[in-house]
Amino acid sequence: MDASLFDRLQWFDNRVTIGDVIFRLESKRDSDWNLGDDYLVLHKGKGLVDQYARFWSRRDFHPTSIFEIGIWDGGSLAFWNLLFEPSKHVGVDLAPSAMSPHFDRFVASRGGPDRIVARWGVDQADSIAMRSIVRDEFTSPLDLVIDDASHLYGPTKASFETLFPLVRPGGLYVIEDWAWAHWERFQDPHHGWARETALTKLICELLEATGSSTTLIGEVAVFQGFAVVERGPGELLEDFELERNIVRRPPPISKPRRVVRRARNRARRLVRR
């Protein structure tokens, strides 16, 4: 991908534009808005987008098939669609429907459902539904998957195990906001996610899998706002499980307590001498 594509973005205090499409920045939402209702909401700030620009500048990557998980009201899908301009772009979200009529107009302006499809009310942990959508909408393996959905360990891992086998070798799988458990606002013990498993665990498992196999994962690139997993050349079956592809050393064998006591007593006797 040509990183200069990010130069098309025009940043303002509370919005970013790509051509004539306006994205209202959710993190900068305020009452000082006089541009009407013809906009899409974007849950990505300039800092995160700058990280993406650095990543893409290192790769000659032009995805033609994109599957996106977690599109909110369609703003994220529109954002990536304008940058990548894929032949087919499918997004799913747990929300029952889009909250922005502007999204429907955007889809129509970009070629309609032949090129852009949004499926609502889809649970990312529903492997059967996710796999069915991919097979219904795509005629070839996926080039790029972007997961910006729940950010919870269980559902995110379920999506990865479902979709990673459907990514072509050399294709990319992006997991956003993996580091949330390390951010200040999540340190409150009363936070709603206080008992949730940190998504960091999945990133560590992906690194373990990378070290365990030369064919499963080609590379893992980790940024503060996202991690990117490159699909390796190995064949993956539909019942793929990450854990089965990780090799770990067995835990050290613990010695019986009496052996430990004898060793300690022997050491004490030697000290006394």
Ranges 114-118, 220-224, 254-258: which has the least confidence:
254-258
**Euclidean distance between CA atoms 69 and 29, whole angstroms:** 23
The pLDDT of residue 99: 72
The pLDDT of residue 262: 75
> What's the CATH number for 44-272?
3.40.50.150
pLDDT-derived band at 255, boundaries 50, 70, 90? low
Cα dist from 14 to 6, 34, 90, 105, 164, whole Å: 18, 11, 27, 22, 35
- Residue 10 pLDDT > 90: yes
What is the average pLDDT value for the chain, to the nearest integer?
92
Q: What is the pTM of this model?
A: 0.90
Share of the chain above pLDDT 90, in %: 81
Averaged pLDDT, 97-119: 89
The pLDDT of residue 216: 98
